Structure 1
């Protein structure tokens, strides 16, 4: 069994936990997975996190534009290190240009790859 298959299996087990922890952090879930599976994985995470009152928050870090393509600007938070060494956080949907471009059909990951999510 491949590493990607094992990883996907672990995510599915995590999502089926009858008593999930209130906060789940996952770093780079795209590693070892075929890029066309990422949209399905995002959908599974989204469904798990938005189904009810006691569903967990899921915090995911990624470096994969294909993963970001499956997210909405409202679901996407950008963390950037500032010159003073501290990090700043902002939501992608707070940028009117980004929000407009996504509404026009441009994938969010492509905008990120093209530096539209960088601080201006």
Structure 2
């Protein structure tokens, strides 16, 4: 596989090289692809205030700074807070503070929760709470890259939150392109047939994508008298492997 460093080295060839333009275009497009895989441990930590807040890192390590930047847009912030409260109802508010044990140019996240006298530092919040905050923040990103890929989008997310996740993913897809994988029939139940691509494997081990064409998927759904698509997929009726 060619690395970004190798692409830079190739781009350093004389400007009359026929491949320079094509490689430059490829490098530009690769730089606009985000493989989003939140590192919950990193996302819990305070982050230095910088221009990094304009863009949520692939591992969500700058979550605090990204939220600080997002809060400058009151409408975007209110929508995010409403979403968080839908899936974690005990959260009353999200506060961005300067941690007392850190330098002044750092931001930390604290959660205000019903029934608790003090605030909960994100460092002390549950794994699932931090991950859902990372995922919802991603979908409210006002400046998404060209393509965002998410492996196991449902990982660590409460099943009751998957409906909202699918809805926000669909809305975010109007601003950018998303490619996600899942093994959750509950999440697939929230998708439309044209949003679902079952993946299979031949006896040789070669991948089959899609494992079933869209017209066949629609046919199976109709023949089942419109059984939820995730249930049909789980039963094996739509192809793909679990």
- What TM-score, normalized by structure 1, do the two folds share? 0.83
1:56 and 2:180 correspond: no
Match of 1:20 in 2: 144
Find the residue that maps to 1:59 and give its secondary structure. strand
Task: Check the 8 A contact 2:136/2:165 in 1, yes or no.
Answer: no
Deviations along 1:64-117, one digit per CA (max 9) or x if unpaired, are: 100100001110001212234322212653214324147x33111100111111
Specify which of 222, 227, 240 is matched with residue 100 of structure 1.
Answer: 222
1:17-67 residue CA offsets vs partner (Å, 9 max, x unmatched) = 2221111111112122110110110000001102xxxx2211111111001
Counterpart of 1:115?
236
CA RMSD of aligned residues (A): 1.9
Change (3 A) 1:42 1:101: farther
Structure 2 CA distance, aligned partners of 1:97 and 1:10? 37
Separation in 1 of the partners of 2:205 and 2:235? 25
Paired with 1:116 and 1:97, the residues of 2 have a C-alpha distance of 11
Counterparts of 1:32-51 in structure 2 under 5 Å? Answer: 32-50=156-174
Q: How many residues align?
A: 114
Aligned to 2:86: none
**In structure 2, distance between residues paired with 1:15 and 1:40:** 11
Aligned equivalent of 2:192 = 72
Look up the match of 2:135.
11
- Identify unmatched segments of 5+ residues in structure 2: 1-124
